[in-house]
Structure 1
Amino acid sequence: MNLPSFLWLWRIAAWSMGLSWLAFLILAVSGGWMWWRRRSHQPRPDWLRPFHYCVGATLAILVLILLAIGIIGTLGHYGSLGHSIHLYAGLAVVDLVFLSAWSAMQIQPTRPWARRLHLAINAMLLLGFIAVSVTGWAVVQKYLP
């Protein structure tokens, strides 16, 4: 790929990562609200669970955009993948996001393990987001003039 500048790509990546962090924060707050309502035996608002699912789907889309940008940008700049740990951190985050989505769909009163699994995956996802942010910052510094 012989493009004059990948700056436009990094802008999309920066916005996607920022929005991914925002979506993750909103998911944590709305998930915590659902947990609190359930623990205090209060009914949750009817819109809360669908809202949580929609924000989760948005996060999944944003992560796929970031994956595509990373692959396109790295192949375009270097001609191959695997130049830093950022690739592996990013792939782990993609896996965790979709594993989290799968575990969310398993949550039912007859499956108490699914909620615990969902929370554990999301704790690992937080660590993954931190890792991908730190390693991504180092990668972006290589591309900037």
Structure 2
Amino acid sequence: MNLPSFIWLWKIAAWAMGFSVLAYLLLAVTGVWMFRTRTKSIAQPSWLKFLHYILGASLVGLVLLLLAIGIVGTLGHFGSLGHSSHYVAGLVVVALVLLSGASATLIHVKPWAWSLHIGTNITLLAGLVWVSVTGWSVVQKYLP
């Protein structure tokens, strides 16, 4: 195929990944803050839980955007998927983010959901490192 350069798509992906990591870090901070207010009987700011939910929804949206960019860009550039371990790493991160988001909606209904949410988010840290490292090698293929 004679397609235009996809460099603009990779720039969007780079920004989205940066914002994803920032959202993850802010989620960790607000999550620890919420945990401490519960365990130490400290008054929780009324906006804290809402901010945590907004950040979580933003992370889900950003990761789904990254998934779409990865699929469109890779298919457009190579014509097929699965050219590197970044593909697997990306799918693992998408799955972990979706599991984390789903478990978050169950925390007040199912007692086990909180443990699943926390465990998933700890695992997600390793997933984000993995997808970042493999993503760097993918980026090198597209740079002139």
Q: TM-score range by the shorter chain?
A: over 0.9
Q: Following TM superposition, by how much is the alpha carbon of 1:4 offset from its aligned partner in structure 2, in angstroms?
A: 2.4
Task: Report SS of the residue matched to 2:105.
Answer: helix
Distance in structure 1 (CA, Å) of the matches to 2:48 and 2:99: 21
Distance in structure 2 (CA, Å) of the matches to 1:16 and 1:93: 14
Q: Following TM superposition, by how much is the alpha carbon of 1:64 offset from its aligned partner in structure 2, in angstroms?
A: 0.8
Q: Does 1:33 align with 2:33?
A: yes
Q: Which residue of 2 aligns with 1:66?
A: 66
Q: Which residue of 1 aligns with 2:19?
A: 19
Task: Report SS of the residue matched to 1:45.
Answer: coil
Q: Which residue of 1 aligns with 2:114?
A: 115
Percent identical across equivalent pairs?
A: 62
Q: Which residue of 2 aligns with 1:105?
A: 105
The ranges of structure 1 where at least 4 consecutive aligned residues each deviate by more than 4 angstroms after the TM superposition are none
Distance in structure 2 (CA, Å) of the matches to 1:99 and 1:53: 14
Q: Following TM superposition, by how much is the alpha carbon of 1:2 offset from its aligned partner in structure 2, in angstroms?
A: 3.7
Task: Report SS of the residue matched to 1:106.
Answer: coil
Q: Which residue of 1 aligns with 2:141?
A: 142
Structure 1 residue ranges without an equivalent (≥5): none
Q: Which residue of 1 aligns with 2:4?
A: 4
Distance in structure 1 (CA, Å) of the matches to 2:2 and 2:98: 33
Q: Which residue of 1 aligns with 2:89?
A: 89
Distance in structure 2 (CA, Å) of the matches to 1:102 and 1:72: 26
CA RMSD, 1 decimal = 1.1
Distance in structure 1 (CA, Å) of the matches to 2:104 and 2:44: 17
**Please, what TM-score do these two structures have when normalized by structure 1?**
0.95
Count of residues in correspondence between the two structures: 144
Structure 2 residue ranges without an equivalent (≥5): none
Distance in structure 1 (CA, Å) of the matches to 2:33 and 2:111: 18
Q: Which residue of 2 aligns with 1:51?
A: 51
Q: Following TM superposition, by how much is the alpha carbon of 1:78 offset from its aligned partner in structure 2, in angstroms?
A: 0.6
Q: Which residue of 2 aligns with 1:124?
A: 123
User: Would the aligned equivalents of 1:2 and 1:76 in 2 still touch at CA under 8 Å?
Assistant: no
Distance in structure 1 (CA, Å) of the matches to 2:2 and 2:133: 28
Q: Following TM superposition, by how much is the alpha carbon of 1:44 offset from its aligned partner in structure 2, in angstroms?
A: 1.1
Provide Cα deviations, 1:67-109, integer angstroms capped at 9, x if missing partner. Answer: 011011111111000101111110111111010011111112x
